[in-house]
Structure 1
Amino acid sequence: PSPPVSQAPEEEESNTEQPETEDPEDTSFSAPFLPYTTFEQRCENPRSGLDSAGRAFPDIQGEVADENNWIRAWSHELYLWYDEIIDVDPESLPTPEYFEKMKTPETTASGAPKDKFHFTLPTDEWIQISQAGVSAGYGATFAILSSSPPRQVVVAYTQPNSPATAPETNLRRGDTILEIDGVSMIDGSDLDTLNNGLFPGNGETHSFVIENLDGTQREITMTSGPITETPVQNVSILETNNGLVGYMTFNDHIATSEALLINAMEQFRDANISDLILDLRYNGGGFLDIASELGYMIAGPQAATGRVFENLQFSDKHPDFNPVTGEQLVDRPFKTTTQGFSVNPGSPLPTINLPRLFVLTGPRTCSASESLMNGLRGIDIEIIQIGNTTCGKPYGFYPFDNCGTTYFSIQFGGVNEKGFGEYSDGFSPANITQPEGVELPGCLVSDDFTRQLGDPLEGMTRAALQYREDTSCPLTTARLKPAARVGWQNLGKANADVVKFVNGKWVAQP
């Protein structure tokens, strides 16, 4: 398995009605549970050759039932709510469908699914994304503000040194997509062309008509390719009447973020900032140890050394030991030194020693990002939330590879030093008109696509600076419209109010 991850998946969308089939849950099935290692890497289509580390793949010839039996036994041993799974015959379904059955059918008090975070990725893709931040695309992440006609799709953010930011393209946050390959984005009926253009495979070329923020239009052509994400961007220091304020956009807790976060914190430390605005509005999570490092760098040694960042709680089968690593379950303090993700391990981390943190959030603020907020709250660092309700994922998992698919299935919950970890409906700014998640001080503010990220006049950043001055919020008379969905999204049919995501992918750029 990979290191522990707290990361948000996205749901797969299907625009095709499926014929009704007999539900395996309607039939009774019972069989003993063998150790999941009994069926490990017994594959219907075994891999051959070497993996990314130069090791021979361990696959041997097997059947679909072997892969399903591995999922069944693995889930029974490690899934947090193993006793809520309705058992299903491993010979009854294809493997992807079988995996979907191996989760709790229960709902939360609000009626939402108890487990919204059950997904898979091709193993080679997971390795590229988690270790190097590499995926196919243009280097532009799109926000779908309206998924049905009249549609509106804008650029949310871009990656440097990518097709999207090449001089001949120069896409910027807030640019509107009017047309793709001759099909109108606003009211075109050819959804396949629109979706293929927005979310291409590697090496695809598509043409676009773009409307700039100033209202001018232009035509561009982009060819997709491997994109290396820069997870920390827009590091800047803002001058105010009450001292210097640091700002940075942090979009992903991937391995490469470790070095970038350290560099940003060194800049903030040397400038002696008095506050930090941490923009997590598009950060879906990632490695918990990255979040722990960042929390320590923000809070500093006096507040955080030796204190719990996030303790893991597994199912009642495993009250004392981590069932994946075999380690005894003990307090997990804030990481005070580098962990070796993208810099050598063991070096002391720089700190800025702040008693509070301004966090910019949205529905894509998830998992490890929420763990950071909760961990700091546990040691009495004040979290001031500007934006919208976070996704609500106080859970995590160890990714497991079997037969070329990496499986993500909830295995543990996380609690802070005070023992709190129940934020399954997310965190919400205190002035939200309809209570949703755990309320925090701050302001309900929409995502502002008319300004660049880090611009002090951008809506969320401006609200954070204003709240810092006098604790006031922008006026709101009603609940904000649902925040834009950002990431790998398919455009829905005309009556689709909720935009779902493609192929279970969960990162904002994939």
Structure 2
Amino acid sequence: PPPPPPPPPPGTTWTQGQYAPASDYINKCAVVRTGVDIEGNPYPDQAGSLVQEMFWLRSWTKQTYLWENEVTDRDPNTYTDRLAYFGTQKTFAITASGENKDDFHFSQPTADYLAQRNSAPAPSYGAELAIIAAVPPRDVRIVYTEPNSPASEVDLGQPKLVRGSRILEIDGIDLVNGGNTQAELDLLNAALSPQTAGESHEFVVRDPGATDNRTITLAAANISEKPVNRFTTIDTATGPVGYILFNTFSPFASEKDIYDTITSLSGTGITDLVIDLRYNGGGLLAVSAQLGYMVAGPARTQNKTFEALRFNAAAGNSDPVQGGPNEPFPFVDVGLGFSLTENTPLPNLGLDRVYILTTGNTCSASEALVNGLRGVDVEVVLIGNTTCGKPYGFYPASNCGETYYSIQFQGVNDKGFGDYADGFAPLNSSDTFAVKAPGCAALDDLSHELGDPAENLLSTALAYRETGSCPAPVTAVTGPDAQPLALEVTRFPVPVDDPLALDAPQPSISEVNRDMTLPRHKWETGR
């Protein structure tokens, strides 16, 4: 008779409610990688199986997921796709405001995760797009451009693309009302998201306030997003005001970028600071803690908690992810070694008030800055719209070539507050679920460059600073031919289910989260 089938790998017999330690399964991979990753670290993979990868997900979720008692225990042996199984390892509860309790459950290839955190260049024009209308009549505008990029290159006396420029045609195809075949739509999507450096396309655009169109050619280049896109000092009758457009806490480069910016501003005599986080979806919590210190200074932050972590109930006072005691995350006053030399003293402005520009794109580590500063009695004035509402975070966990992001803690400030799952909003906002803070509701404004004192959010902040009250709000303007004034710009809109819809741009996962990563040597000493 034929030999009996081999027994299942050890530890892969499912018994409901019984969990082996995740360490029994980690790095037991169906496909074994060899060599080293882009950071020079050898792959830890060992020969294993897909079912062992899923048993690791099951045990890891049980040990570390914030709402582990709300996860249905499912048999990994009944699944053939690790990502499909991962999708079941979360709560499906709904909040009082009708939102998903956990709307931040993601994974991505580990190679992509490492490339993003190391600012690996990727093909791009260096222009951030807003798809205001994805179907005809389509409306695609420029939100901002990266410095020293093809988009910001000067052509005939002006940058090729400016904030608010509307794309009308690409390579002879009408983007607004054309693209009515799949072939044309594919060409439009491909041109909007170039895949190779040197790839070139012809665009017809119209700038804000213009009546004539311009024709430009853009060739993609390998570009790394600059975390601090720009900063400046604005002279006012009551003293100079600093302005920073800070678009991501995500890459390691953000540490030195914000250090250099605050260092420059600290010598200008500014009396107030506006931090523009309207497009900042988050990133490294450690860099947010550094910025918190640089805003507030030592007197307010010494021996204070920037963010304490609340893990699942089973963890008690321990950290179930790293092991050891659960220690609060302090305001950080030195370089940590991401991109700034370790122990470099950080500059500080010693402010008791800061203005933060916000939209629904302001998320996670950006909200941690708001909450952390409020916890040490810095007055945080919010100008804009309700933030995304993510008081939660994670430690990225990589296994067998996939990096998983599963909510593991809620962050609370020095006062113990962290209940802002429906976001922060200015005091006069109509949002009934958000946590209110001083400031003014205001809509985004694509008709002026970011950092221009006439731009709606910044002008509202400056007016509130002068008078202590909110100026009359600007009414939203809609319609394909309207000037792009007072719009709610969504960087990463939900894809539209329509055959004529443009593809919605999607963020890297690290851009919309609160990432607990520290430089490697920091892990060896706990914090």
TM-score (norm 1): 0.88
Match of 1:236 among 229, 232, 241: 232
Q: Residue 191 of structure 2 aligns to which amino acid in structure 1? A: G
Gaps of 5+ in 2: 1-13, 478-485, 513-527
Q: Residue 410 of structure 1 aligns to which amino acid in structure 2? A: I
Summarize the alignment of residues 393-408 of structure 1 with structure 2, pairs less than 5 Å apart: 393-408=390-405
Q: Which residue of 1 aligns with 2:194?
A: 200
Query: Is the CA contact (8 Å cut-off) linking 2:444 and 2:487 kept in structure 1?
Result: no
Corresponding position: 1:152 with 2:122: no
Matches of 2:475 and 2:72, distance apart in 1: 41
Please report how far the alpha carbon of residue 179 of structure 1 lies from its aligned counterpart in structure 2 after TM superposition: 2.1
Q: Which residue of 1 aligns with 2:8?
A: none
Q: Residue 88 of structure 1 aligns to which amino acid in structure 2? A: R
Q: Residue 386 of structure 2 aligns to which amino acid in structure 1? A: T
Q: Which residue of 2 aligns with 1:507?
A: 511
* Stretch moving more, 472-481 or 156-165: 472-481
Q: Residue 483 of structure 1 aligns to which amino acid in structure 2? A: E
Q: Which residue of 2 aligns with 1:20?
A: none
Instruction: Give CA deviations for 1:471-500 in whole Å, capped at 9, x if unaligned.
Output: 23232498999822114875652798x996
Query: Is the CA contact (8 Å cut-off) linking 2:246 and 2:280 kept in structure 1?
Result: yes
Taking every aligned residue pair, what percent have the same amino acid on both sides?
41
Matches of 2:504 and 2:82, distance apart in 1: 22
Q: Residue 212 of structure 1 aligns to which amino acid in structure 2? A: D
Matches of 1:426 and 1:504, distance apart in 2: 21
Q: Which residue of 1 aligns with 2:207?
A: 212
Instruction: Give CA deviations for 1:316-364 in whole Å, capped at 9, x if unaligned.
Output: 1212121222231233321111111111111221111111110001111
Distance 1:382 1:119, change over 3 A: same
Query: Is the CA contact (8 Å cut-off) linking 1:137 and 1:226 kept in structure 2?
Result: yes
Please report how far the alpha carbon of residue 73 of structure 1 lies from its aligned counterpart in structure 2 after TM superposition: 1.4
Please report how far the alpha carbon of residue 71 of structure 1 lies from its aligned counterpart in structure 2 after TM superposition: 1.3
* Stretch moving more, 58-67 or 229-238: 58-67
Summarize the alignment of residues 234-313 of structure 1 with structure 2, pairs less than 5 Å apart: 234-253=230-249, 254-313=251-310
Distance 1:371 1:86, change over 3 A: same
Please report how far the alpha carbon of residue 94 of structure 1 lies from its aligned counterpart in structure 2 after TM superposition: 1.2
Matches of 1:44 and 1:222, distance apart in 2: 43
Instruction: Give CA deviations for 1:342-392 in whole Å, capped at 9, x if unaligned.
Output: 111112211111111100011110000000000000011011111111000
Corresponding position: 1:347 with 2:344: yes
Please report how far the alpha carbon of residue 136 of structure 1 lies from its aligned counterpart in structure 2 after TM superposition: 3.5
Q: Residue 369 of structure 2 aligns to which amino acid in structure 1? A: L
Q: Residue 197 of structure 1 aligns to which amino acid in structure 2? A: A
Instruction: Give CA deviations for 1:74-95 in whole Å, capped at 9, x if unaligned.
Output: 1111111111111222132412
Summarize the alignment of residues 64-79 of structure 1 with structure 2, pairs less than 5 Å apart: 64-79=50-65
Summarize the alignment of residues 86-485 of structure 1 with structure 2, pairs less than 5 Å apart: 86-91=72-77, 92-132=79-119, 134-168=121-155, 170-188=160-178, 189=180, 190=182, 191-203=185-197, 204-213=199-208, 214-253=210-249, 254-476=251-473, 483-485=488-490
Please report how far the alpha carbon of residue 139 of structure 1 lies from its aligned counterpart in structure 2 after TM superposition: 1.4
Corresponding position: 1:493 with 2:498: yes
Q: Which residue of 2 aligns with 1:10?
A: none
Matches of 1:349 and 1:417, distance apart in 2: 21
> Max radius of gyration: which structure?
2
Distance 1:54 1:184, change over 3 A: same
* Stretch moving more, 215-224 or 39-48: 215-224
Instruction: Give CA deviations for 1:132-187 in whole Å, capped at 9, x if unaligned.
Output: 26444221110122233322111111112223223457222111111234433223
Query: Is the CA contact (8 Å cut-off) linking 1:337 and 1:345 kept in structure 2?
Result: yes
Secondary structure of the equivalent of 2:373?
helix
Matches of 1:143 and 1:228, distance apart in 2: 19
Please report how far the alpha carbon of residue 99 of structure 1 lies from its aligned counterpart in structure 2 after TM superposition: 1.2
Query: Is the CA contact (8 Å cut-off) linking 2:443 and 2:474 kept in structure 1?
Result: no
Query: Is the CA contact (8 Å cut-off) linking 1:128 and 1:135 kept in structure 2?
Result: no
Q: Residue 255 of structure 2 aligns to which amino acid in structure 1? A: E
Instruction: Give CA deviations for 1:383-439 in whole Å, capped at 9, x if unaligned.
Output: 111111100000100001111111111011100011000100001111112424111
Gaps of 5+ in 1: 1-27
* Stretch moving more, 162-171 or 40-49: 162-171
Q: Residue 194 of structure 2 aligns to which amino acid in structure 1? A: P
Query: Is the CA contact (8 Å cut-off) linking 2:113 and 2:510 kept in structure 1?
Result: no
Query: Is the CA contact (8 Å cut-off) linking 1:305 and 1:336 kept in structure 2?
Result: no
Matches of 1:108 and 1:199, distance apart in 2: 35
Corresponding position: 1:52 with 2:47: no
Distance 1:411 1:479, change over 3 A: farther
Secondary structure of the equivalent of 2:313?
coil
Larger relative contact order, structure 1 or 2 (CA cutoff 8 Å, min sep 6):
1
Secondary structure of the equivalent of 1:243?
coil
Match of 1:41 among 27, 31, 52: 27
Distance 1:476 1:422, change over 3 A: same
Query: Is the CA contact (8 Å cut-off) linking 1:119 and 1:504 kept in structure 2?
Result: no
